[in-house]
Amino acid sequence: MSSVPSRVLMENPHLRMYIEELRLQGKTASYVEQLSREMRSLRSFSIIYPVGDPLFIHIESRPSERSSYNVISPFTMAPMEINKIVEKGLARLITPEMDYTTREEHEKLLNELLDMFLEIDDTLEDFDYKPIYRKGIVEKLAANQTTADIIRNSVILDKVYLGTLEAFIRDQYIEDISCNGVGPIFVEHKIFGSCETNISFSDQEELDAFVVKLAERIGRPVNFRKPIVDASLPDGSRINIVFGSDVSRHGSNFTIRKFSEKPVSIADLISWGTMSSLEAAYLWIMLEHGMSIWFCGETASGKTTALRAASVFINPSAKIVSIEDTPEIVVPHENWVREVTRQGEQGEGDITLFDLLKAALRQRPNYIIVGEIRGAEASVAFQAMQTGHPVLATFHAGSVEKLIQRLTGDPINIPKTYIDILNCVLIQSAVRLPSTGKVERRVLSINEIVGYDPTTQRFDYIELFNWESSADKHEFRGEGNSYLLENKVRTMLGVSPREVHRIYQELYDRAQILDLLVKSKNTDFETVWRTVKEVYHVGTQNVLEKLESVQRI
């Protein structure tokens, strides 16, 4: 950690002003380009880090309170009266010929207009300004270079990007953004947990106006007739908006679930302790042989992250069809059809998960991935699995028993004798570790569905892997306990029952490959994907020997 580089301070006057204000308060902050997971153990911290010019974050611990998350942005520093003058001035300069189709063109156009409207006068103090009139109309606005730079960045952030929210969207360490009504916005930080931000709404009128503007920006307007909107932001993040006090006692609110274009890799999950290398290797063998796996858990348990990470194990030559309400699934395969639902106007033209899943069956996929199964689409998913189309999906259930209850009860009503069409269930949860007191995500169990006995009316399943909380350790029941490996996979490979140990050895070898990637810190998604493709191409042993030889050097 170090002080802010002088170059960064020169290029970002708003950051320079913020740090000067900290100094006057007797505070200091360290500057880092990137955060690390090791910082989770810090009890006291005051850190500034960049999230993309011209935005910075200052995150600071507070005794017995949530950490503070302060956005350092020109947008929050530019005085409101200057912004209003600039907005009116730019509006008068715009002509019908001025048009744009991309963000880049929009930003370029605004910069050209700002060049015409702003006049540099370094005799003025910071945030002082002088309107230059012509025929009673403000033709230009004079300000010093620092103020002009702040105005320029503020306008670009507001008109081209998401203004107040842009820093949250750019911050790769943010998972969720919550505005619960009048007051501060809260964020869930991957390193420092729940934080209170310096962005807040002072009254209901201000919040309502912001929510209406935000909804219009994403093309899904809200009003009192239609007060609830689910949509996607330009970066793919999911947003839920509730407008007005009629349906929300504390007034308008919104929640954003961040989307990461670069998926977390399976090696990352192993290095973080979310799952073991042996569990990951087991998923690898299951997906290679066309087994259907559902990733289950509560909200924010990491189901989708685990599914995305495991998708690299599907055969690289496979055709995949993904179906979602909002696009979150990212797979590296070339033959990938990505489909999303559509909400029509006034109930007409809706395209649901149910519709897309039925259509997917006609597209001859090798794998179908459903972002989240909730209702009637579950019956189509089981039809797909029954006709030889394996399905990966996420599902809200905290245990195998709860999963079966939901599947066999209203409104899904899957016949009990069909349940074993689903091969494997992974249960994941956010847990508080006794050793550190920190909340982490852990795979609690991986279970094989064996079948249903109508005589005893019992479902049979094998908990092949489980998580031991006291030791924070993932345990494997060992050879001789896997129904899928010893029956289905063995049969597909043409291995005799006496040689079933070969399949377990393959499991251990693949776990070793993943361990070597973690040990060498080659955990990024692309590296894992290249390694998996190489295994499919030249075999497990060749790749393992190659990685071991590199490790010895």
Distance, CA of 71 to CA of 51 (rounded, Å): 10
Residue 333's closest CA among 308, 357, 351?
Answer: 308
The pLDDT score that the predictor gives to residue 171 is 96
DSSP element (H, E) containing 166: helix 166-170
pTM value is: 0.84
The pLDDT score that the predictor gives to residue 124 is 94
What's the order of all strands across the beta sheet hosting 391-396?
336-340, 320-324, 367-373, 391-396, 293-297, 424-432, 439-453, 458-468, 473-476
Residue ranges of the chain whose pLDDT lies below 70: 1-2, 261, 344-348, 553
Residue 281's closest CA among 468, 531, 537?
Answer: 531
| 385 touches 292 (CB < 8 A) | yes
Cα–chain center distance at 88: 38
Report how many helices (DSSP H) and strands (DSSP E) the chain contains, helices first.
Answer: 19, 22
pLDDT tens digits, residue range 431-477? 998 888 888 999 999 999 999 988 888 999 999 999 999 999 999 99
Pick the CATH number of 273-479 from 3.40.190.10, 3.40.228.10, 2.70.150.10, 3.40.50.300: 3.40.50.300
- Cα R_g (the chain), whole angstroms: 27
Give 436-472 as a DSSP string.
T--EEEEEEEEEEEEEEETTTTEEEEEEEEEEETTTT
Q: Which tokens hold the place of 403?
A: 């999963």
| 395 touches 373 (CB < 8 A) | yes
Give 224-243 as a DSSP string.
SSS-EEEEE-TTS-EEEEE-
The pLDDT score that the predictor gives to residue 1 is 45
pLDDT tens digits, residue range 237-262? 889 999 998 888 889 999 999 877 67
Break the chain into its structural domains and give their ranges. Answer: 75-155, 273-479
Task: Say which residues have a Cβ less than 8 Å from residue 236's Cβ, sequence separation at least 6.
Answer: 259, 261, 326, 327, 328
The pLDDT score that the predictor gives to residue 215 is 92
Q: What is the DSSP letter of 51?
A: S
